[in-house]
Amino acid sequence: MTADAASAAASAPAGAPGGPARGPRARTGASYLRYGAGKVGGAAVSLLAVLLTSFFLFRLIPGDPVKYMTGGRQVSAEQLAAYRREFGLDLPLWEQFTDYCRKALTGDLGTSYQFRAPVIDKITEALPNTLLLTGTAFVLYTALGILLGTRSAWRHGGLGDRLNTGLALTLYSIPSFWLGLLLIIVFSVGMGPVPGLFPTGGMESGGEEGFAYVVDVAHHLVLPVVTLVAVDYGQTLLVTRSALLDEMGSDYLTTARAKGLRDDLVRRRHAVPNALLPTVTLVFINLGRTVAGVILVETVFSWPGLGGLFYQALSVPDLPLVQGLFFVFAAAVIIMNTLADLIYPLLDPRVGR
Amino acid sequence: MTTEATPPPDATPPTDATPPVAKDGGGGGAGAGPRALARQRRLRSVLRFWRQYRTHRAGLLGLAALVLFALTALTAPLTVGSDVAGVTGAPGRPLESPSGEFPLGTDRFGRDLLGLLVWGSRVSLLVGLLAAVLSVAIGALVGITAGHFRGAYATVMMRITDWFLVMPTLVLAIALATVMSRSLGTIVLAIGVTSWPTTARLVRAQTLAVESRPYIERAKALGGGHWHIMSRHVLPNVMPLVLAQTTLMISSSILAEATLAFLGLGDPTVVSWGGLLQEAREAGAVSSGAWWYLVPPGVAIAVVALAFTLCGRAVESVLNPRLGVAR
């Protein structure tokens, strides 16, 4: 997986069209706009494809969706027909489809079977919680990965490097949900000498106001964030490390040393900024993995976010909700990738102009 | 069935070293015909590969762990037998902690957890291998054909690849597993058809590099068709890459299988490591502090995934010396 993502990161800029060299002003203007428009257009097509996929994929399900709604209870034929009408399942497939597309464009993703509430409401309700969890973890694991990756590469082959890489690879191979469960056993339930330090799940204890509320949420946030960071920082570390190793033999570093710069300045001012370029793309691509991690971590820690909602929807299965969340997850990753594509040429003038 | 399919690292020293490319071995080794020559050359390159692989300590460690797990899985019918998974007539009381009789304790039905762990290795390894093989096969097919046939076909294929590449793989796999019936085949399919795009991209790049060489032009001039060029010239050249990719892919497939099983999307009738973890969570092992129920399956998953990753990285750095420094 590390190698895949790295190569994906490497191939992304390579796929960008290299425009003819013009004056610096012309390059920053029209050509970048054209490049950006291409990327945004591609993303729009991808989003449309996701919308279509999520419609047809979840119509493939064998059996009658109404059966899931009634949960195996005995219901009369009239009631079943009423359910079908309520969710528009009595219409022919193509009518369901045009209906779906029209509603999706206005932000209506259907009605959840189990909550009897609009899917979009459930999603907007859970979204801030997921953003809080993912955002915190994202910032932390990116910073940690870059920091440790830089150190590892600068002293590569040494004991510190081998420990660092070994630990990163090990944590990378651990299933996130398992790590979460272990952390709960040790730090929430308490084990041996360790008392229960952190709450076992949820996002708040309830009843707190103001600053106490913030502290309470932060307290609940610790274990899920630790889990996500532990599982996800390895990839950033490995890519930063190999990107920096690629730069290590470069002439410009020798020049920098020759003019008398301290080792530490050579690293911070010269090597790292160049090595970070491929890492930027990867950081965004990594979000795809984080989305998967969030589903599991939220499930394990009963975090009231999109991932936990996805798990609840799966166990029914509550098709409109699964479908809506599938779209949200895919859209998040597509948008992040497009952002990476848009930012990259601004950072690295060799690409995409 | 489980390990014979394991890729190259196992193709240890001499004799049995038949690279998967050698499908044309019908002629036998008699005389110094072109086939015998080709075979000797392949043998030599496998030996050379092994000599370099041997210098990677982490790779050897991973290989040793894999051999151990493969043996455990293959001999499971002899050591524990399928009875271990039976709910009726379980030998112990529910949720017993580790003891002399049950080294890893018992599960919620009183079954021996060590036995279940050994028995579960069969499903976890099998699904991981099959899913990885499926994924890499699709990736190699798309990559080679997209690299060979340029034009509209390649454009369309690479568009599809790019689209799959930006999709969150696991979410797509979960969606597929949800809409299909609960079985091992479903899991293999769900992982296989969602994880091929990176392989396709790598293989396509390699195919383009190979096809720009003069000997391909020569083969075309001598009348070699599309199939001949793809199967006889391109495939052998991308094979090392494909094998390294398979090794890395197995690691993520095993993790993906565990994840799907944990989410309750696996086959409920078979024992797998992810399934054990799901049962443990459902049985309340977390709140009752039954760590012996949770720790072993997770450790097993992590060790196998790590072992495949280490092997894959070692294979990669042997095949691509530029990565050597990154080892």
Rounded Cα distance, B62 and B72, in Å: 15
Element (H, E) at B279: helix B273-282
pLDDT band for position A351 (cuts 50, 70, 90):
low
Per-residue model confidence as pLDDT tens digits over A24-57: 444 567 788 888 888 888 888 888 888 888 787 7
Per-residue model confidence as pLDDT tens digits over A58-86: 776 655 666 666 655 666 777 777 777 77
Q: Is the peptide bond before A317 cis (omega within 30 degrees of 0)?
A: yes
Least confident of A76-90, A211-225, B169-183, B227-241: A76-90
Q: Which of B252, B249, B274 is nearest to B261 (CA)?
A: B274
- B-chain residues near A58 (CB < 8 A): 175, 178-179
How far, CA to CA in Å, does A261 sit from each of A209, A245, A264, A268, A353? Answer: 53, 19, 8, 11, 33
B116-323 belongs to which CATH class? mainly alpha
Residue B271, pLDDT above cutoff 80? yes
* Min Cα–Cα distance to chain B from A210, Å: 31
- Return mean pLDDT, chain B: 80
Q: Which of A82, A87, A139, A135 is nearest to A113 (CA)?
A: A87
Alpha helices in chain A (DSSP H): 2-15, 24-26, 32-59, 65-70, 77-86, 93-105, 119-154, 159-172, 176-183, 210-248, 251-258, 263-265, 272-300, 306-315, 319-347
Identify whether the C-beta of residue B295 lies closer than 8 Å to the C-beta of residue B280: no
Phi, psi dihedral angles at B111 (to 5 degrees): -80, 155
How far, CA to CA in Å, does B80 sit from each of A206, B85, B90, B119, B304? Answer: 49, 9, 13, 7, 20
The answer to whether A175 contacts B259, with C-beta atoms less than 8 Å apart, is yes
Q: What is the largest CA-CA distance in chain B?
A: 75
Per-residue model confidence as pLDDT tens digits over A146-180: 999 998 888 888 888 889 888 988 888 888 889 99
Give the pLDDT mean for A91-98.
Answer: 78
Rounded Cα distance, A197 and B204, in Å: 52
Rounded Cα distance, A204 and A301, in Å: 12
A with B: how many residue pairs have Cβ under 8 Å apart? 159
Rounded Cα distance, B121 and B2, in Å: 10
* Residue B288 vs residue B231, higher pLDDT: B231
Residue among A4, A314, A333 minimizing CB distance to B178: A314
Identify whether the C-beta of residue A301 lies closer than 8 Å to the C-beta of residue A219: no
Q: Which percentage of chain B shows pLDDT scores above 90?
A: 13
The β-bridge partners of B106 are: B112
* Min Cα–Cα distance to chain A from B285, Å: 9
Can you say how many angstroms the Cα of residue B135 is from the centroid of all Cα atoms in its chain? 9
Rounded Cα distance, B180 and B217, in Å: 46
The first and second tokens of residue B253, run together, are 């497939």
What structural domains and CATH numbers belong to chain A? Answer: 38-62+109-347 (1.10.3720.10)
- pLDDT of the residue at B31: 59
The answer to whether B201 contacts A8, with C-beta atoms less than 8 Å apart, is yes
- pLDDT of the residue at B11: 40
- pLDDT of the residue at A193: 65
* Angle (deg, nearest 10), helices A32-59 and A319-347: 160
List the single residue in A with minimal CA-CA distance to B316: A3
- pLDDT of the residue at B222: 92
What amino acid is encoded at A15 in this protein?
A: G
List the single residue in B with minimal CA-CA distance to A238: B326
The answer to whether A61 contacts B178, with C-beta atoms less than 8 Å apart, is yes
Q: What DSSP letter does each residue of B87-98 carry, written as one string?
A: STT-SS-TTPPP
The answer to whether A181 contacts B325, with C-beta atoms less than 8 Å apart, is no
How far, CA to CA in Å, does A51 sit from each of A4, A81, A100, A125, B298? Answer: 26, 27, 9, 21, 36
Residue B77, Cβ neighbours under 10 Å: how many?
A: 11
List the single residue in B with minimal CA-CA distance to A191: B289
Residue with tokens 């899917």: A119
- A-chain residues near B302 (CB < 8 A): 170, 173-175, 178
The β-bridge partners of A194 are: A191
Rounded Cα distance, B88 and B96, in Å: 17
Residue among B179, B201, B291 minimizing CB distance to A61: B179
The first and second tokens of residue B232, run together, are 């006889």
The answer to whether A175 contacts B309, with C-beta atoms less than 8 Å apart, is no
pLDDT band for position A116 (cuts 50, 70, 90):
confident
Mutation test of the interface with chain B: which of A45, A165, A181, choosing the one with the most B Cβ atoms within 10 A? A181
How far, CA to CA in Å, does A99 sit from each of A92, A117, A118, A347? Answer: 11, 18, 15, 43
Is the pTM higher than 0.80? The answer reads no
ipTM of the complex: 0.77
